[in-house]
Amino acid sequence: MNISLKGKNALVGGSSGGIGKAIAQQLAESGANVTLMSRSGEKLKKIVHELPTDQGQEHSYLVVDFSDFHGYRETIYHYFENHNIDILVNNTQGPSAGSALEKQTSDYQEAFDLLFKTVSYTTELALEHMKNNKWGRIINVASVSVKEPLSYLALSNTIRAAVVTWAKSLANDVGPYGITVNSVLTGYFDTERITQLNAKKAEQLGISEDEVLADMESRVPVKRIGDPKEYGYLATFLASDQAAYITGTQIPIDGGLLKSL
């Protein structure tokens, strides 16, 4: 199956590394014009020059701070004044780790601004063109923890679950316009985020980070953590014409980690 996204414009959040970068790379490989988005301008500038342009693509980047919603809102609003997006990948950095007992109401508000308000507002801006064009793809990077909460990620468990249920509701509303909305439930992937979380867990348990990683791998039926490239393949398929009948879903990409149906 040959996936072509030639002529499509994609906006990918959190794309200065990890999963976001891998998605951006694969979308570009399939012919899309990609706008990278994160708070690290130096990293984005370097990645833009690494993306393929053999199909005549034009790539760019946008520096934003997802943790500053008011600043983000202004920046993304001005971006959409001059750009139309066909493929929107909603992805941000995760909130701080910690259990429910460690978090205060203010922490949940900050996480809501970071994980939910940025996603819903960006989508709102992108939808006008998608509806007029009768075609659009919205892909939300979520987590397996919305189905099986992780005790040390209380903020992520809570707010990402809200994103997934919002996405299901939105899919019903925009389906008649040829727009699909899907959420990907992320398992363990080889990213900086996992490294940071493993370091915190190792410190709490008094063991090495290698031991934490080995235990993590042992819990996954395929006995390894994921390569971000594999994530990019799934996201690119969901962005394609071939996935036009897939919407309102929550698709785990976790090597079989989830035990629930």
What is the set of active-site residues?
Answer: 152
Dihedral class, residue 227 (left if φ above 0, else alpha if ψ from -120 to 50, else beta): beta
Dihedral class, residue 196 (left if φ above 0, else alpha if ψ from -120 to 50, else beta): alpha
Is residue 243 within 8 Å of 178, Cβ to Cβ? no
Closest CA to 39 of 23, 19, 62: 62
- Collapsing DSSP to helix, strand or coil, 56 comes out as coil
Q: What is the CA radius of gyration of the chain?
A: 18
Closest CA to 232 of 89, 69, 42: 89
